[in-house]
Structure formats: C-alpha cells, structure tokens
C-alpha cells in the first residue's frame, strides 16, 4: 500500500472512531461522482491526487451552487505562506500540513462543522435561486386561490353553474401549482440533507403511471391532449410511483411550456435486459451548449422570455433522483431546434 493510501486510511479510521460519517474516494473525479449522491458538511481534500488533483476538484465543487458553501479543507505536504494565501484566495476554508497531530486535525474539523451548522441554522430561505422568483411562484397561485374564493363568496349567485365550476377548476389548478412549488422546495431540501429515501424493491407500471399523469397535465395545459404524441410499451420499472410521477410531470411540463404550440413526442421501449428507455422530445426553444453545462439547482435561463418557468428545480431534481435509482439521464439540445431527454430506468427484476 502506498504512503498516500496509508495516510488516507489513517484519517478515515480516525474520523470514524470519532463518530463522524465518512466517505472516502481515491481522486477528484470519484469525489464529483460521490457528490452527485451525497452532500457532506465538510470536504477534506488532498492537494495532490491522480486523475484530477485537489485544485481542479475544488474549482469544480465551488461552481456547483448547492455545494459552494460547504467548508473545504486542503491537505498538503508542501509548506509556505504563499501556498496558504493562494488556497484561501481561491475560496478554501483552511490548509493543513500532513505532519499534523490528530488533535489539531479534529479541532479544525469540529470548528468548521460548528461554523457551517450556524450558517445553515440561520439560513431560513430553503431556495437558493433568485428570491423574486420564489415570491412569484408562491404569490401567483396564492392570489389565484384567494381571488377565486373571494369572487365566489361575493358573487356566486350571479354566475351560472358552469361558470362556478370553471372558477373551482381554476382554484384547483392554482392550488396544485402552489403545492408543486412547495413540494419541490422540500424535495430539494431533503436531497441536500441526504434525507431522500429509496426502497430496494419498488415496482411501477410505466404505462399506467403515464396515463394517470397525462390527465393531470391536461388540466394544466388545455392543448396537451393534441400536442402529446406517445408510444409507450408495457413495463415494470424499478422505481417508486411517486418518483416516477415527479420525473415525468416535471419533464413533460417543461417540454410543453417551452415548445410553443408544437407537438412533443414521448417514446418508451425496452432498451436491453436491464433498462427501459424513455425519450421525451420537443421542437421548442432548446438550450445552448453553455446553458446545458450550467444546469443546476435554482438556475434559470432567460426567464423574462420564458413565462412561468418555476423555480429551476424540476430538471435538476429529476436527474438526481434518477441517478439515485440507478438510472441514467442524458440531454441533447440546440437553440431554436429543440431538446431530447433520454431516460434509462432499471427494469424490475420480475421482467429481467
């Protein structure tokens, strides 16, 4: 075993002994893969690593919005005030030399964790995007609910039964929109706090789930019945119905919103003995390559041109949830041409 591996193993054992929840990886690339599925309260990183070194790893982590505030501590064999200043200027929280004593390392870790806990406890806004968007996404449906109820309470006798039913349907749509906004916020919060739960043996029939979901989407998008062209084979997927419904709704809703009056196609077929492939394709405004690389929690593009865009959490959470369910998410897009999202769901064992 190399000296670096022995050193890493020593730190891992020390922190586990001190009752910290610890996950270790061999290099920066493995670190990024781990952070796709787990959000730590502190990152302890060797500056010299194979595949991707600590500096490159740190720069990439700081570009990820929901990870940027996590304390980041470098470990290095090199000494010198210049190196320390450079690390701090790049946004690192501390730098520890590898000749440290265990009690000093533990003191630094505990100090950073306590400070980060205070920041999280005082950070009351659970949405990391633009607060004006959050206010819009809460106030708009809330006004629709309260305004509709006030009108019915004051003038119900002046309306026909059909008009009253339309008011009630409008109130219901506004309520669903507000519920979706709050659900997405709490889902995001559970994700970054590592509280999303995934059962091992879930099974959901994709065709049944899509049929029920289409009815819900048609209540929000009046032209959805004519614009959705679909061909979905029967299959049982290894995913819970609530997560499958979430992913399908968010992605289909986005495709409809950003495609003008164009149709969208949804095709679902067996890919091989292990995966079911679902493709959602639209001919809408699309993403630029720069935007594709910037998709993140709370990130929105040209919102002023794209009405009712939501909070920018749906695409991000869909990708993260599918990955946690052992699936694969790919997206191909071009501006003013359209977007194709391809989802690979693991098949339930009964059909493998």
For the cut 80, the answer to whether the pLDDT of residue 177 exceeds it is yes
pLDDT of res. 125: 52
CB 50 within 8 A of CB 43: no
Q: Rounded CA gap, 243 and 95, in Å?
A: 41
Kindly give, in sequence order, each residue whose CB lies less than 8 Å from that of residue 266, ignoring residues fewer than 6 positions away.
210, 228, 229, 230, 231, 232, 252, 278, 279, 280, 281
**Mind listing the pLDDT tens digit for each residue in 238-288?**
999 999 999 999 999 989 988 878 899 999 999 998 999 999 999 888 888
**Residue 88 tokens, joined:** 């701090």
List C-alpha distances in Å: 94 to 39, 62, 139, 196.
Answer: 19, 15, 42, 31
pLDDT of res. 150: 84
For the cut 80, the answer to whether the pLDDT of residue 2 exceeds it is no
Sign of CA dihedral 168, 170, 171, 177: positive
In which band, very low, low, confident or very high, does the pLDDT at 296 lie, cut at 50, 70 and 90? low
What superfamily in CATH does domain 3-122 come from?
Answer: Response regulator (3.40.50.2300)
What percentage of the chain exceeds 90 in pLDDT?
Answer: 30
Residue 343 bridge partners (DSSP): 278, 329
- For 99, counting Cβ atoms within 10 Å of its Cβ (0-12 exposed, 13-18 middle, 19+ buried), the class is exposed
For the cut 70, the answer to whether the pLDDT of residue 12 exceeds it is yes
- For 241, counting Cβ atoms within 10 Å of its Cβ (0-12 exposed, 13-18 middle, 19+ buried), the class is middle
In which band, very low, low, confident or very high, does the pLDDT at 234 lie, cut at 50, 70 and 90? very high
Q: Which of 318, 351, 345 is nearest to 238 (CA)?
A: 345
Average pLDDT for 39-66: 88
Average pLDDT for 203-207: 93
What stretch of H or E contains 110?
Answer: helix 102-122
Highest-confidence range of 40-54, 64-78, 229-243, by mean pLDDT?
Answer: 229-243
Q: Which of 342, 312, 338, 316 is nearest to 329 (CA)?
A: 342
Please state which of the ranges 19-28, 56-65, 303-312 shows the lowest mean pLDDT.
Answer: 303-312
pLDDT of res. 1: 41
In which band, very low, low, confident or very high, does the pLDDT at 235 lie, cut at 50, 70 and 90? very high
Q: Select 204-351's CATH number: 3.40.50.1000, 3.30.565.10, 3.30.420.40, 3.40.50.2300.
A: 3.30.565.10
CB 315 within 8 A of CB 250: yes
In which band, very low, low, confident or very high, does the pLDDT at 206 lie, cut at 50, 70 and 90? very high
Q: Rounded CA gap, 301 and 310, in Å?
A: 11
CB 207 within 8 A of CB 235: yes
Chain mean pLDDT for the chain: 84
Q: Rounded CA gap, 313 and 256, in Å?
A: 17
CB 42 within 8 A of CB 112: yes
Collapsing DSSP states into helix, strand and coil, what is residue 269?
Answer: strand
Q: Rounded CA gap, 252 and 227, in Å?
A: 11
Q: Rounded CA gap, 56 and 47, in Å?
A: 9
Sign of CA dihedral 67, 68, 70, 72: positive
**Mind listing the pLDDT tens digit for each residue in 126-146?**
566 666 677 778 888 888 888
Average pLDDT for 55-68: 86
Please state which of the ranges 1-15, 78-92, 295-309 shows the lowest mean pLDDT.
Answer: 295-309
**Residue 204 tokens, joined:** 């959901």
Name the strands in the sheet holding 72-76, side by side, starting at the edge strand that comes first in the sequence: 43-46, 72-76, 94-97
Sign of CA dihedral 129, 74, 195, 345: positive
pLDDT of res. 127: 60
Q: Which of 87, 113, 92 is nearest to 20 (CA)?
A: 113
In which band, very low, low, confident or very high, does the pLDDT at 309 lie, cut at 50, 70 and 90? low
């Amino acid at each position: 075993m190399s000296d670096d591996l022995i050193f890493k193993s020593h730190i891992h054992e020390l922190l586990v002994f001190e009752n910290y929840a610890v996950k270790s990886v061999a290099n920066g690339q493995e670190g990024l893969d781990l952070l796709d599925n787990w959000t730590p309260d502190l990152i302890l990183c060797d500056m010299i690593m194979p595949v991707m070194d600590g500096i490159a790893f740190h720069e990439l982590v700081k570009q990820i919005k929901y990870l940027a505030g996590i304390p980041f501590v470098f470990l290095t064999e090199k000494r010198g005030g210049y190196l320390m200043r450079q690390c701090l200027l790049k946004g690192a929280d501390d730098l520890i030399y590898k000749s440290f004593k265990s009690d000093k390392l533990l003191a630094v870790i505990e100090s950073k964790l306590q400070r980060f806990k205070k920041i999280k406890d005082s950070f009351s806004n659970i949405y990391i995007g633009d607060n004006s968007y959050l206010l819009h996404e809460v106030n708009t449906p809330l006004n629709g609910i309260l305004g509709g109820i006030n009108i019915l309470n004051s003038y119900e006798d002046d309306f026909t039964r059909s008009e009253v039913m339309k008011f009630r349907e409008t109130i219901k749509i506004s309520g669903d929109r507000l519920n979706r906004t709050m659900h997405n916020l709490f889902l995001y919060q559970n994700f970054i706090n590592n509280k999303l739960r995934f059962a091992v043996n879930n099974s959901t029939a994709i065709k049944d789930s899509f049929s029920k979901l289409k009815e819900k989407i048609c209540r929000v998008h009046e032209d959805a019945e004519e614009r959705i062209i679909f061909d979905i084979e029967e299959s049982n997927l290894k995913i819970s119905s609530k997560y499958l419904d979430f992913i399908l709704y968010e992605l289909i809703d986005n495709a409809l919103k950003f495609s003008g009056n164009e149709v969208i196609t949804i095709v679902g077929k067996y890919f091989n003995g292990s995966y079911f492939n679902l493709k959602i394709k639209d001919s809408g405004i699309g993403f630029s390559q720069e935007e594709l690389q910037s998709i993140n929690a709370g990130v929105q593009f040209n919102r002023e041109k794209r009405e009712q865009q939501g909070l920018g959490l749906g695409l991000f959470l869909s990708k993260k949830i599918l990955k946690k369910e052992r699936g694969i998410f790919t997206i191909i897009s071009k501006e003013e041409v359209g977007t194709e999202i391809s989802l690979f769901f693991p098949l339930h064992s009964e059909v493998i």
